[in-house]
Structure 1
Amino acid sequence: MNTQLSVSSLPAITHNNQPVITTDLLAQLYGCKPKNISDNHINNCGRFVCGKHYFKLEKEDLISFKNKPDSVGLVGKNARHLILWTERGAARHAKMLETDQAWDVFEKLEDSYFQKRQEPTLSTRFLVSIENGRQTVMAVPEDACVMSVKGMAVKVATGEMYITSEELYSFITAAVDQLYRRNEYLMNKSV
């Protein structure tokens, strides 16, 4: 606890697209030792739900977190796990510590740290289509499969992807229709 840490100087840490805070940083802010936070967690384990109040990172998840640019210096070199506290978990610790400092700091965390980081982020993948001269842009869900026609044809031909005859017919019909529309659009555009 050599360096004075404040909510305004807190590094932005996220996990699962939500702001979180490490046990060490929370302890520094609340004016206690990390062991107090860990003991609260152990002694009240029934009051803390993983994924709601905290995240426990181990193995591959821990390695992945350590390699994130915004996580440099937050995890000990030989750490086997890391607890990241959500807003709700940080609130429970403030309540358990029952100190004015913990409550005052939690209020600041609530107002400026947890809230400012919860702005929705744009998807990095978009589908752009042009039909009859009108451009449409749609966000592509992260779990959507996106591939080129050529890539799909290779996967079907090599057996990596199975498509029924009915699905293949629908796909080919839609592809031919799109090619026709694109050709028609380009011809009208050049006139």
Structure 2
Amino acid sequence: MNQLQIISQDGQRVLITSQLAESYGTDSERITKNFNRNKERYKEGKHFLALEGKELKDFRATCQIDLLPNINKLYLWTEKGAWLHAKSLKTDEAWDAYEMLVDDYYSVKENIPTLTKEEAEALLFRRTADMIVKIPQLEQKIEEVDQKVDKQITLTQWEQRKLQREVKRKVYKFSDDKEERKYLFPELYREIYDRWGIPSYRDVLRKDLENVITYINAWVPKKKDEEKGEIA
């Protein structure tokens, strides 16, 4: 392994993707693909730091390392992030390299400089500004998750009973004959299943309940097949 150029960010040593790839005997593209395939396992601030905008500009100005001129987002991998990448690669070379990184690179703690009052205030202001930018993005993500959840939640037991009562009320409205109702019940349920693409009334989504009830209220059974004595 070649001597790594030391990169420090937020008081800890980190590696850019090309350094990590070289250490593990692979290329940056594979590191990036592994990250994208397992992105849900990586936590920003724990496994990596992502620099963009002013942070990236400041990093370029202070860090003497070659970066592509058109890069707009830079990932810096922490020790825990390097561990996840070694785990994804599953090679002896990667694990050996990871152990060397821990012993000879990551384990060397950086001296965190004492900030002046002005520097501390400037840092606080920058972090606050970053949060102001990120909060609307987080709110948008939360809204998207809520919408996805709404599309997956099925009826509660109480709502299932409500739907059953509506079906029963409708069927009894059309027939007092016990034998005829034996055909009307499955006919109505079958039409609900076909229309909403579900195998059971228990699978009706909560967001669809009112529409299903409206459909039940407007439902009219098919004519009885006089020869077979069945509902066609």
With the length of structure 2 as denominator, give the TM-score of the two structures: 0.49
Percent of residue pairs identical: 35
Total equivalences in the alignment: 122
1:81 to 58, 64, 73: 73
**Rg larger in structure:** 2
Runs of 4+ more than 2 Å apart: 71-74, 119-122, 140-145
> Partners in 1 of 2:57 and 2:86 — Cα distance?
29
TM-score by length of 1: 0.59
Equivalents in 2 of 1:124, 1:58: separation in Å?
Answer: 23
Aligned with residue 57 of structure 2, among 63, 76, 97 = 63
Q: Deviations over 1:44-96 (max 9, x none)?
A: 0110001110011111111000001xx22332111111110000000100011
- Counterparts of 1:144 and 1:59 in 2: how far apart (Å)? 20
Structure 1 unaligned blocks of 5 or more? 126-139, 146-191
Structure with a larger share of its residues in strand: 1
Q: Aligned to 2:120, which of 143, 164, 177?
A: 143
Shift, 1:113, TM fit: 0.2
- For CA contacts below 8 A with separation 6 or more, give which structure has more relative contact order: 1
Letter aligned with residue 86 of structure 2: A
Stretches of structure 2 lacking an aligned partner (at least 5 in a row): 123-232
The corresponding residue for 2:114 is 123
* CA-CA distance at 1:41 after TM superposition: 0.7
Match of 1:109 among 78, 101, 104: 101
Q: In angstroms, what is the RMSD of aligned CA positions?
A: 2.0
**Are the structure 2 counterparts of residues 123 and 46 from structure 1 closer, same or farther at C-alpha, using a change threshold of 3 Å?**
same
Sort the Cα spacing of 1:81 and 1:91 in 2 relative to 1 into closer, same or farther, 3 A.
same
Alignment of 1:17-56 (within 5 A): 17-56=11-50
